[in-house]
A and B are shown apart, each in its own frame.
Chain A
């Protein structure tokens, strides 16, 4: 457990601050030695730059149509050609990065907040609360991701915010389940009992002693689930339940291009490649973080 606390940058009582900084630096150095993870991080930085600076990077307005110029192949004017409305495919992919990252990151944040709250509450308090909360989590986990997303979208309707909530609710039980296990062990440790003995409040114990100790695993899970959330967003958009038109999304572009897959493959393959890169990047970083932060990986 000591390894866990140290690796996660936790705050066991009496840990000197100098050592803590040193451990973070060690973790950073360890991450940087993982070439695959560094490549993933660079790819993510590249995607973030694309998303933030889309208005300046994209050669055209992604919404402007020119139907008489539809289905044009790659050219110097349109590097990846034009779609069925004559819109520039490259510009739409660049703008699509915004939606992918927004949905991927914010849905995981929502899922993490809900899931960790559920898991920690169930694990720390135990008893009836544990039984009720974890059975709810078990029920949610019994549905495949896409089905949960479909159900929630069917209730909420289409839209980016609703999509973020839908995917967040899909992700939440995963965080709850992973957070729950370590809390069961942590709450029995001597320093938690000591904190209780000196009269620290439950919220304080959770904030100062429980959460920092599960933070590493949650960060790893978050990075891996960001990749899954991006994929899930694309899947829901592909079946028409994602962000409504005209906002460009990769999943929608893949779907719209599929009908011309045999003669204009770039219409689908280009956004597909963007999706592949994003998912791959977050998975590489997730794996790298797991090597550094997850005690079980060590």
Chain B
């Protein structure tokens, strides 16, 4: 069929317009509804949920696994039943122990994997998983389950958790929730994959199932059609690894990502929020930035030196790095938004709201025998929050004559080295769901290598554990925080909220107030318009 030049031109024109019209939405097509979220690391660490600790790992395992109970999506202070039918009331036994009897929901399907077909989750799986979580060789969170016992109940699908002494709901539930050791691992799948391979090939029951891990690039998840709360609205999730913040930002704007881990800086978040088509979410939980002072260090064992350093510090300098609402001050290691943390008024009343006083600090150093200051070596992480905190501290100490020789190393290396007591002052940034966990991990003999300060509040921590009255318990935790400050062993600087940016089409499916897994919370209700 012959066509004229004009017809040919018209055909090309129509074709071009048609392509443009149909291509436009395709520019935002998400591979059939696969959400692409970019995290701020170069790869996974460990996807066995009982070891996962990096923010990228916590986000991934949260989409793959469930707990007996779960934090209400988008909130960090409310629980609801998840794998369990309901949250049980505890029973105090004749021998003084306390039992919690859960009833496992029927029809919870595990993900299929090579060597283990999808199957109903059973009480045996719960037994296997919690026994693993409580074993220090198979879990990094075993300390949270010291003395706990697990058994099948008398009734159908019943699972009984027994703790050695009665504890409050607020202390118990985080350990059986969708966080750390509370994630449930199906036994058959774990054994089929093998413990070694499980760290990069997790299998659970959650809304998304693991498909593939491409080192240094991504982890691919697909929707779990048989998920017990209903099939996810997304076809899948691709967790991409891009450590460079600028690259993440540009890729988001280019349409290569749907959600990115942001920069913890308020003006950056505001700028991204002002862009058409994008929303910056600033939400909790805030990760606390605090300093641990090694009270056994050659120089810092002199309390006057530690006091001098406290007087050199101004929280304003640190908070200004992030700016409100991303960063806010804390007045103790346990933040005030958790029971047991000190508010500014609490710290003021206890006389531990230390203020910057450079001349006073210099005078104290002179009294301690260091009129010309001294030198300290410090290992710092390359990760922005750690590096910036280190540099501000370095400058503050320079003002009182203390020279801090910073050695910036990879983040994982820093964690390894600070556990070898390489730092006299250790910066740590972390969220823990209860004051008990903060005090146990960092200020008790049970903390082991993470008791960076060597200062302990075991007695107050133990008293608080046995206290069932929530107000009295919080007061004991506050006392522990005051002791830490009075002994110049730990100094809470600020907490830093999470910053994520998404395309406006992304709807997480829940309000975003605070998420303990340190990401926006992606589940079966998350969708893209």
Residues of A within 8 A of B (CB): 63-65, 67-68, 70-71, 84-86, 157-158, 240, 244-246, 258-263
Q: Which residues of B contact A240 (CB under 8 A)?
A: 382, 408
Q: Is the CB of A244 within 8 A of B392?
A: no
5 closest Cβ contacts across the A-B interface?
Answer: A67-B320, A68-B320, A259-B245, A65-B395, A67-B317
Given known pairs A244-B405, A244-B407, the reply for A68 and B316 (CB within 8 Å) is yes
Q: How near does chain A come to B414, taking the closest CB pair, in angstroms? A: 12
Of B167-175, B263-271, B329-337, the stretch lying at the interface with chain A is: B263-271
Q: Does B513 contact A (CB under 8 A)?
A: no
- Nearest A residue to B395 via CB reads A65
17 cross-chain CB contacts under 8 A: A63-B395, A65-B391, A65-B395, A70-B321, A84-B265, A85-B392, A85-B395, A157-B407, A158-B408, A244-B405, A244-B406, A244-B407, A244-B408, A246-B398, A258-B244, A259-B245, A260-B268
Instruction: Give the interface centre of A63, A65, A262 by most chain B CB atoms within 10 Å.
Output: A65
Q: A-B pairs with CB below 8 Å: how many?
A: 59
Q: Does B249 contact A (CB under 8 A)?
A: yes
In-complex Cβ contact of A84 among B317, B321, B395 (8 A): B321
Q: How near does chain B come to A95, taking the closest CB pair, in angstroms? A: 15
Q: Does B388 contact A (CB under 8 A)?
A: yes
Q: Which residues of B contact A86 (CB under 8 A)?
A: 320
A246 to B396, CA, bound (A): 12
Q: Does B487 contact A (CB under 8 A)?
A: no
Q: Which residues of B contact A260 (CB under 8 A)?
A: 268
Q: Is the CB of B268 within 8 A of A245?
A: no
Q: How near does chain B come to A128, taking the closest CB pair, in angstroms? A: 42
- Nearest B residue to A63 via CB reads B395
In-complex Cβ contact of B320 among A64, A70, A158, A258 (8 A): A70
In-complex Cβ contact of A245 among B245, B267, B318, B408 (8 A): B408
Q: Does B394 contact A (CB under 8 A)?
A: yes
A258 to B321, CA, bound (A): 16
Instruction: Give the interface centre of A71, A157, A246 by most chain B CB atoms within 10 Å.
Output: A246
A246 to B392, CA, bound (A): 10
Q: Is the CB of A262 within 8 A of B407?
A: no
Q: Which residues of A contact B321 (CB under 8 A)?
A: 67, 70, 84-85
Q: Which residues of B contact A246 (CB under 8 A)?
A: 391, 394-395, 398, 406
Q: Is the CB of B246 within 8 A of A259?
A: yes
A178 to B161, CA, bound (A): 76
Q: Is the CB of A85 within 8 A of B382?
A: no
Given known pairs A63-B398, A64-B395, A261-B246, the reply for A84 and B320 (CB within 8 Å) is no
Q: Is the CB of A71 within 8 A of B394?
A: no
- Nearest B residue to A65 via CB reads B395
Q: Is the CB of B407 within 8 A of A65?
A: no
A86 to B391, CA, bound (A): 12
Q: Is the interface of A mostly helix, strand, loop or mixed?
A: loop
A63 to B398, CA, bound (A): 10
Q: How near does chain B come to A161, taking the closest CB pair, in angstroms? A: 13
Further contacts, 14 of them, CB under 8 A, given A84-B265, A84-B388, A158-B408: A63-B395, A64-B395, A67-B316, A67-B321, A70-B321, A85-B392, A245-B387, A245-B406, A245-B408, A246-B391, A246-B406, A258-B246, A259-B246, A260-B268
Q: Is the CB of A67 within 8 A of B392?
A: yes
Instruction: Give the interface centre of B267, B271, B320, B382 by most chain A CB atoms within 10 Å.
Output: B320
Q: Which residues of A contact B268 (CB under 8 A)?
A: 259-260
A245 to B407, CA, bound (A): 8
In-complex Cβ contact of B271 among A63, A158, A263 (8 A): A263
- Nearest A residue to B405 via CB reads A244
Q: Which residues of B contact A63 (CB under 8 A)?
A: 395, 398
A198 to B404, CA, bound (A): 61
A159 to B121, CA, bound (A): 55
- Type the 1/0 row for B301-321, where 1 means its CB is closer than 8 Å to any CB of A: 000000000000000111011
A132 to B317, CA, bound (A): 57
Q: How near does chain A come to B247, taking the closest CB pair, in angstroms? A: 9
B243-271 contacts to A (CB < 8 Å): 244-246, 249, 263, 265, 267-268, 271
Q: How near does chain A come to B329, taking the closest CB pair, in angstroms? A: 13
Q: Which residues of A contact B245 (CB under 8 A)?
A: 259
Q: Which residues of A contact B249 (CB under 8 A)?
A: 259, 262
Q: How near does chain B come to A92, taking the closest CB pair, in angstroms? A: 13
A259 to B265, CA, bound (A): 11
Q: Is the CB of B405 within 8 A of A71?
A: no
Q: How near does chain A come to B280, taking the closest CB pair, in angstroms? A: 14
Q: Which residues of A contact B263 (CB under 8 A)?
A: 259
A70 to B395, CA, bound (A): 15
- Type the 1/0 row for B373-407, where 1 means its CB is closer than 8 Å to any CB of A: 00000000010000110111011001000000111
A205 to B267, CA, bound (A): 67
- Nearest B residue to A257 via CB reads B246
Q: How near does chain B come to A26, taking the closest CB pair, in angstroms? A: 51
A135 to B321, CA, bound (A): 52
A86 to B323, CA, bound (A): 13
Q: Is the CB of B394 within 8 A of A245?
A: yes
A245 to B404, CA, bound (A): 10
- Nearest B residue to A70 via CB reads B320
Q: How near does chain A come to B361, taking the closest CB pair, in angstroms? A: 17
Q: Which residues of A contact B316 (CB under 8 A)?
A: 67-68
Q: Which residues of B contact A65 (CB under 8 A)?
A: 317, 391-392, 395
Q: How near does chain B come to A112, taking the closest CB pair, in angstroms? A: 30
Q: Which residues of A contact B406 (CB under 8 A)?
A: 244-246
A86 to B317, CA, bound (A): 10
Q: How near does chain A come to B501, taking the closest CB pair, in angstroms? A: 13
Q: Which residues of B contact A263 (CB under 8 A)?
A: 271
Q: How near does chain A come to B242, taking the closest CB pair, in angstroms? A: 13
B82-103 contacts to A (CB < 8 Å): none
Q: Which residues of B contact A262 (CB under 8 A)?
A: 249, 271
B382-438 contacts to A (CB < 8 Å): 382, 387-388, 390-392, 394-395, 398, 405-408
Q: Which residues of B contact A70 (CB under 8 A)?
A: 320-321
Q: How near does chain A come to B310, taking the closest CB pair, in angstroms? A: 19
- Type the 1/0 row for B153-185, where 1 means its CB is closer than 8 Å to any CB of A: 000000000000000000000000000000000
Q: Which residues of A contact B392 (CB under 8 A)?
A: 65, 67, 85
A17 to B321, CA, bound (A): 66
A259 to B394, CA, bound (A): 22
In-complex Cβ contact of A158 among B388, B390, B407 (8 A): B407
Q: Which residues of A contact B244 (CB under 8 A)?
A: 258
Q: How near does chain A come to B358, taking the closest CB pair, in angstroms? A: 13
A245 to B249, CA, bound (A): 26
Q: How near does chain A come to B285, taking the closest CB pair, in angstroms? A: 24
Q: How near does chain A come to B493, taking the closest CB pair, in angstroms? A: 12
A64 to B358, CA, bound (A): 14
Q: How near does chain B come to A66, taking the closest CB pair, in angstroms? A: 9
A246 to B263, CA, bound (A): 21
Instruction: Give the interface centre of A67, A70, A246, A262 by most chain B CB atoms within 10 Å.
Output: A67
Q: Which residues of A contact B271 (CB under 8 A)?
A: 262-263
A86 to B268, CA, bound (A): 16
A85 to B263, CA, bound (A): 15
